[in-house]
Amino acid sequence: MEKLKALLSNQNTQYAVVSIYLLIASLWLHYASKSIIAFLMLLFSFLVLYYSNKIPTKTRVIVGVLIFTVLLPLASGGNQYYMEVASNVGIYIAMALGLNIVVGFAGLLDLGYVAFFAAGAYAYAIFATAQANNFMPDWMQFPLGGEWFWPFLLVGLVVAAIFGILLGLPVLKVKGDYLAIVTLGFGEIIRIVFNNLDKPINITNGPRGIPAVAQPELFGYQFNTSTHYYYLVLIVIAVIIIANKRLEISRLGRAWIAIREDELAAQAMGIPLVRTKLLAFATGASFAGIVGVIFAAKQTFIDPTSFILMQSISILVMVILGGNGSVPGVIVGGAIITVLNVSVLQEISEWIQQLNMSGVISIPNELDPSKFQRLIFGVILIAIAIFRPMGIIPAKRPEIDLEKVKELDKTLPQTGILSQVQQGGKSS
């Protein structure tokens, strides 16, 4: 066992393992027309790279970028099924990374996160269709063209951030379970408002939803395939990852973590709780707003059923499963839960239906695996709580070498009260 560990810790061995893994996963994905296992294998090359710690970090980042920008689309061979699944996975990973700021960094349990997603989606869908003609002045003609999609990414960000502040204001003094209840209620209120905002003025078209949402255009080129949205989502994920990493080590990020660990101690240290919590809600919500705009354009149809409580729970499970405050962990958790929802349960259901129709087995519809989503989430959460309470990839705390700090402290000139004490000691 020790020899195997030593072998796997060798840099050349890790290069070989990564290369062989990528080759097998790529060939399998290329020759399998609709294999979710092959797709998962290539998707989780991220994990293989993450644990290949003898390979330089810069090299791993470059290889990871090449895998998801070049290798995955090429290996899929233009198969839109794989690209559709990949773009859906990316959308939910982006939302999970946004929720990671609120739950993972600041420790604020938010069960209404899907409300911000809905705010961004409706902000674009209303004006990218003729729906806006119902309440806007006659001299303004709608729908807006696909080229307006790009400014609406910022509009979705701002609208969702405002919703985040509106949520944050009434819950500033609420903690723990009560915070979860209030945010859950906020999410349901937003969904019900969108569901009933078709009278007296028809703004959201109510439960009928908004169809024919304009798709993005860039210099006359229309984004109308899953591959286009896959690359768009990749760019958004990259921006959100950079924002997460920069915020984590920033003064604001350290304030969020301090509030998460001990709110009373953070307040005693001079951290303004109101402003810091509001910034957490607004920052996390803004990312969901951007993703909501992309979702509306990709689906070309939205209605209130796309933003139910189960969506918020799914995103929260992604964060908990991957690891609170852990960016790579949240990515893995988001990929697992989304693939489980989008593909695995549906494929199992279709397979059982085929067996039923052929007479091989007889299983009632009540036992359809796609109806056991909440049961599966519950089992996952219980298993994680027992076996991996910190998540699949726990968040790493920055390590400080105290010996180096002491050495540095000796080389720096003493100022203030310390210099006066030293001078007093020397004079005596």
User: Is residue 304 assigned to a domain?
Assistant: yes
- Are residues 69 and 101 located together in one domain of the fold? no
pLDDT tens for residues 167-185?
Answer: 888 877 777 778 888 888 8
User: Is residue 400 assigned to a domain?
Assistant: no
Give the chain's largest Cα–Cα span: 100
pLDDT tens for residues 25-42?
Answer: 888 888 877 777 788 888
User: Is residue 386 assigned to a domain?
Assistant: no
Alpha helices in 44-128, H assignment, sequence order: 45-51, 57-66, 72-76, 80-99, 114-127
- Are residues 295 and 224 located together in one domain of the fold? yes
User: Is residue 173 assigned to a domain?
Assistant: yes
Query: What does pLDDT average to in each consecutive run of 10 residues of the chain (428 residues)?
Result: 72 87 88 78 85 87 90 83 88 93 89 92 92 85 88 94 87 79 89 90 90 88 88 93 90 90 88 90 93 93 89 89 88 86 72 73 70 76 84 77 65 58 52
- Are residues 62 and 165 located together in one domain of the fold? no
Closest CA to 333 of 293, 284, 383, 296: 383
- Are residues 65 and 157 located together in one domain of the fold? no
- Are residues 16 and 125 located together in one domain of the fold? no
Domain end position, chosen among 33, 56, 77: 77
User: Is residue 66 assigned to a domain?
Assistant: yes
- Are residues 42 and 173 located together in one domain of the fold? no
Question: Domain span at residue 69?
Answer: 1-77
Domain end position, chosen among 322, 357, 385: 322
Distance CA 37, CA 335 (A): 13
363: three-class secondary structure by DSSP: coil
Split into its structural domains, the chain has a count of: 2
Distance CA 389, CA 320 (A): 9
